[in-house]
Amino acid sequence: MSSSDPLFNPLTVGDLEVRNRVWMAPLTRCRSLLPGHVPWQLNAAYYRERATGGLLFSEATEIAQEGRGYPGVPGLFTDAQVAGWRKVTAAVHESGGLIACQLWHVGRASHQAFQPGGKDPVAPSAIAAKGDVHLPDGSKAKYPTPRALAADELPGIVATYRTAAENAKAAGFDAVELHGANGYLIDEFLRNGANHRTDEYGGSVENRCRFPLMVIDALIDVWGKERVGIRVSPLGSFNDMTDSDPLPLYSHFFGELQKRGIAFLEIVGAIHGDDIDEDLMAKIDAAGREQFNGTLILNGGYTGDSAREAIASGKCDAITFGTPFLANPDLPRRLREGAELNESNPNTWYTRGAEGYVDYPSLDGGPVPTSD
């Protein structure tokens, strides 16, 4: 049924039928069960509450211990983790929702304390990110200089992504999203602030896109193109990221994604306090629309009204909401009714337990209904 509100028209995404355009962005919350980084009942309750979103993206999910850079984040490489995620996907599906798993390798944004055997983190080049990493014991340290990956190691990392995609299917997810944003491994290969390679994986735009596209191809092999997407942050500075000329880079990359026919592309604008070039961001968003014919999703500071305008104008097909969904489990209803939004408490974004996680009230003050 068509709605006069652009946010609440249904949408076909690949071969998924999605009931609205209010989608939940991937939000790191650090609430998995330790030890083991296993999703559990608390996580299931959190995602169940938010299941009225058109499509939920899971928090970034580790494909291997080598890809870890934060304490308490969930993985998808052990049997226990797969079983834990089944509790989450079942809760979402029982509430009538859809959920995609965001697959994550942090690359250089890690520390020896997270790595098997205390090894150095890996990256396209041996360039340390500026800033601090939060260690498992609660302390902080400067990001170490990573070890540059050899070219012959990259097929093995692609295989790790493939296994994670298979595990996501076993865990009951509806799709997968490759985390290609925010200064993690895929983003590090794409942007020349972090990628100084001189082999076939560095230098030219085509070369820097090579490894990310190898991973996309592996995900397609597992899921089919209709259930695969990617998130990118072309101008994001988080984790000390830069690129000298992002418009041609992402125009080429979007065209390569189009050749593969994947289901969706999520482009992130200003987050984490970024002060970005809005004119350049608009050109990159437009390149996404021009070069990519699948579902285009935008993210970054949208309100209900600006999201409606973006969708109605054809700029994009859906919006992912981050912080508003964190504090408003019934966000679709609130946007539909023009209701006041709860304010989130940043002090509890990355803590442990239920506070600031599953205790934000719905409009009715009780459990969130399972339909919008």
- Show which residues are catalytic: 184
Neighbours of 258 (CB within 10 A): 16
**Long-range pairs for 280-284: beta carbons < 8 A, 24 or more residues apart:** 280/235, 280/246, 280/247, 281/234, 281/235, 283/247, 284/234, 284/235, 284/246, 284/247, 284/250, 284/251
Name the E strands within the chain.
11-13, 16-18, 22-24, 56-57, 61-62, 99-104, 122-123, 132-134, 140-142, 147-148, 175-180, 228-232, 264-268, 295-299, 318-321
> b/e for 273-284, b at 16 or more Cβ within 10 A?
ebebeeeebebb
Please count the other Cβ atoms lying within 10 Å of the Cβ belonging to residue 241: 23
| Closest alpha carbon to 241 in 189, 200, 204 | 189
Find the helix or strand (DSSP H, E) in which 88 lies.
helix 79-94
- 319-324: Cβ within 8 A, 24+ apart: 319/7, 319/21, 319/22, 319/23, 320/23, 320/24, 320/25, 320/57, 320/266, 321/22, 321/23, 321/24, 321/25, 321/53, 322/25, 322/27, 322/271
- Which SS3 state, helix, strand or coil, does residue 228 take? strand
Whole-Å CA distances, 196 to 20, 50, 193, 350, 362: 42, 41, 7, 33, 48
**Structure tokens belonging to residue 296:** 């285009």
